[in-house]
């Protein structure tokens, strides 16, 4: 009678609960999200007032990121789907398991709890679940997990700045309202150019400012303006005509010789020599052209006074 009463009490207690619920399970995950907040561009190099005829500028892209670390807690419910057909063999099995469950509990007490409690309690729970006609016993093969809640909590947030050299970026340089000259940054995001490279037919007789802009996505990403000292501005204005000859009449050796000589006399000797080397390299297979080009240069320099020789003559004329 006691056994029967215990069985009935257990069945009533089990019927009050969730018939197929097994457990709730919380799973925590951490997620790192990176968000680009802003992008800006920067130019380094070059003084606000240009004193030299050669300029070197470095271009950088600066990205601002926000790194967010969020902890997501997902609450799962695990249960075994109820299938009434299984009760045809679970209930009889549970009736047989009741006395065995009572015996295991008694044996654990007699053995001074030597037998593991998890094993005995698990068998007892399985026995009473089998007795309940409204509950299937728990089975690892039939457990279903369902997500019932998701909670996001922000744990950490940090802003960082990444500076990258702009390699192969398009750059434009111009004087005042003149036509922009297209340039490209090199392997380290650096562009080096001579002021005469930017001379154009549309520039004024005395340029006052040099504008350098970074062309980005069809528009100007960043721009700087540089003031040109007066003496250099006058030299650039006078160099406009010989530079137009160099860029526009590449097949006239006499005109090219006159243009290089004029650039030399205006104070750009290094650039004049550089252009001479380029012309010689470009026409190395045209002996007639090179001879006429060299003859034109020799005639011009031969007709001009030698400043070194003039200085020596002047010194010899001074009486002690």
The whole-number pLDDT of residue 3 equals: 53
The token pair at 1 is 């009678």
| 285-to-190, 249, 255, 256, 295 alpha-carbon distances in Å | 34, 18, 20, 17, 17
**Domain-embedded: residue 224:** no
**Domain-embedded: residue 306:** yes
Number of domains the chain is built from: 1
**Domain-embedded: residue 62:** no
**Domain-embedded: residue 181:** no
Q: Are 256 and 246 in contact (CB under 8 A)?
A: yes
Length of the chain: 320
Region 8-33 average pLDDT: 62
Strand partners, 223: 213
**Domain-embedded: residue 95:** no
Confidence class of residue 51 from pLDDT cuts 50, 70 and 90? low
Give the N- to C-terminal CA distance of the chain in Å, as an integer.
Answer: 148
**Domain-embedded: residue 303:** yes
Q: pTM surpassing 0.85?
A: no
Specify the higher pLDDT residue, 223 or 23.
223
The whole-number pLDDT of residue 49 equals: 67
CA angle 98, 100, 103 (to 5 degrees): 115
Q: Which residue has the tokens 């003559």?
A: 313
pLDDT tops 50 at residue 16: no
Confidence class of residue 258 from pLDDT cuts 50, 70 and 90? very high
B/e letters for 252-264, b = 16+ CB within 10 Å, e = fewer, are bbebbbbbbbbbb
> What is the Cα–Cα distance from 46 to 192, expressed in whole angstroms?
11
**Domain-embedded: residue 107:** no
Confidence class of residue 101 from pLDDT cuts 50, 70 and 90? confident
- Percent of the chain predicted with pLDDT > 90: 23
Show the domain range for 255. 239-320
Strand partners, 122: none
Region 144-165 average pLDDT: 84
Query: Across 116-120, 122-126, 240-244, which has the greatest mean pLDDT?
Result: 240-244
**Domain-embedded: residue 313:** yes
Output the average pLDDT for the chain: 80
């Amino acid at each position: 009678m006691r056994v029967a009463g215990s069985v009935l009490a257990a069945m009533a207690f089990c019927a009050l609960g969730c018939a197929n619920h097994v457990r709730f399970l919380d799973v925590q995950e951490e997620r790192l999200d990176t968000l680009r907040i802003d992008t800006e561009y920067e130019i380094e190099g070059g003084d606000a007032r240009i004193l030299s005829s050669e300029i070197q500028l470095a271009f950088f892209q600066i990205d601002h990121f926000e790194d967010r670390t969020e902890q997501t807690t997902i609450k799962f419910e695990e249960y075994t789907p109820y299938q009434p057909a299984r009760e045809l063999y679970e209930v009889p099995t549970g009736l047989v398991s009741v006395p065995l469950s009572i015996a295991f509990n008694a044996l654990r007490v007699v053995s001074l709890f030597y037998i593991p409690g998890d094993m005995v309690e698990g068998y007892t729970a399985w026995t009473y679940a089998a007795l309940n006609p409204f509950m299937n016993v728990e089975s690892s093969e039939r457990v279903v997990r369902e997500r019932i809640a998701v909670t996001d909590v922000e744990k950490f947030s940090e802003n960082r700045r990444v500076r990258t050299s702009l390699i192969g970026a398009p750059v434009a340089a111009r004087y005042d309202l003149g036509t922009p000259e297209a340039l490209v940054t090199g392997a380290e995001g650096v562009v080096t150019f001579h002021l005469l490279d930017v001379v154009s037919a549309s520039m004024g007789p005395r340029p006052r400012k040099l504008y350098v802009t970074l062309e980005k996505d069809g528009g100007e990403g960043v721009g700087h303006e540089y003031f040109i000292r007066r003496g250099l501005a006058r030299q650039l204005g006078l160099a406009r005509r010989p530079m137009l000859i160099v860029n526009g009449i590449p097949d006239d050796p006499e005109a090219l010789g006159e243009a290089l000589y004029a650039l030399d006399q205006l104070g750009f000797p290094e650039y004049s020599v550089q252009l001479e080397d380029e012309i010689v390299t470009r026409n190395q297979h045209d002996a007639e052209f090179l001879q006429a080009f060299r003859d034109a240069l020799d005639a011009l320099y031969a007709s001009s006074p030698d400043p070194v020789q003039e200085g020596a003559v002047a010194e010899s004329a001074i009486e002690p």
